[in-house]
Amino acid sequence: MHSKPKVFWIDAVGCNGCSHSFFNYPEIKELLNKVELLYHPLLPSPEFKVQKSDILIIEGALKTTYFPRLDFNLVELISELVKLSKKVILLGTCSVYGGMFGEGVLFNKQKEGKFFEFKEKMIALPGCPPHPEWIAYVIEMLVENKNILLDKENRPKEIYSYTSHMGCLRNEYFEWKIDALDFGTKEGCLFYLQGCQGPFTHSSCNRILWNEVNSKPRAGTPCFGCTEKEFPKKNLFKTETFMGIPADIPLGVSKRAYLTIAGIAKSLKNDRLNKRLIDENN
Ligand code: SF4
Ligand code: SF4
């Protein structure tokens, strides 16, 4: 019988939210049975010691100033663990890009991060937190020794080659430029007035739903762009505009094309959708 892959999970500078997201994976017990858990800060596991692993999971950001973790300097500890591992999963936006706490392991926002030289063995799973099914998918693929197709930032294409806009129930409103007038409402698109970042956020939140039922835009909350390098941006609930034109437009579309389509949609009007918006707000 083959031995189980050894998994070491280290929590750097973060909030443990990524771990808590994973705890919501419905088949967590079965998945953990397929690995040998060498260490996890919150799950029952053997005492901490620096050692080799097949899969190292790094949750949280770095701090380059002295920041102790289990009596080690955090950056030195991560350096040791990365060298001793076969594969590294960077769990969460903090770990991949720095997020809200500090520097990322692979990237420091737009720039290459401290451990960029180890990119070849890294799989980036940004998200604040990442969806439990994304985490389980990557662990499962590694356990089964299957190839995961990655994009140029080492994110699994299966998850991040879409935007969170894809699959949103408000797409029809986006097409016709009919804007939601408030949070928590069902009708209208949250892009122009409420700051939704769905059209330029790499994620599959509207295809792989949270708790299998929902996503932020479905619940009437704009997408915060939590999988992206610059997360968290200022003015989360506001779409920056210049002379009425959104500063950020859907990925892959030129500003000219966006403005032309938006102008035509607004001028033609969709009475059926406008009526739904009016009915909801009366
Ligand atoms: S990515 Fe978000 S959820 Fe994960 S540790 Fe950082 S702040 Fe917490
Ligand atoms: S609410 Fe956001 S994700 Fe949904 S259609 Fe509008 S812009 Fe796209």
- Pick the closest to residue 156 from 133, 127, 134 (CA basis): 134
Ligand 2: which of 163, 178, 189 to mutate, most ligand atoms within 8 Å of CB? 189
| Whether pLDDT at 65 is above 80 | no
The whole-model pTM stands at 0.94
CB 93 within 8 A of CB 128: yes
Average confidence score pLDDT of the chain: 94
Q: Cα–Cα distance between 166 and 235 in angstroms, integer?
A: 23
Confidence of residue 120 (pLDDT cuts 50, 70, 90): very high
**Mean pLDDT score, 187-214:** 96
Give the mean model confidence (pLDDT) for residues 133-160: 98
Phi, psi of 45 (to 5 degrees): -160, 165
Specify which residues 242 forms β-bridges with.
245
- Closest ligand to C-alpha of residue 204 is 2
With a Cβ cut-off of 6 Å, ligand 1 is lined by 14-15, 17-18, 59-60, 92-94, 99-100, 128-129
Query: Domains in the chain, start-ordered, CATH in brackets?
Result: 6-158 (3.40.50.700), 171-281 (4.10.480.10)
92 Cβ below 6 A of ligand 2:
no
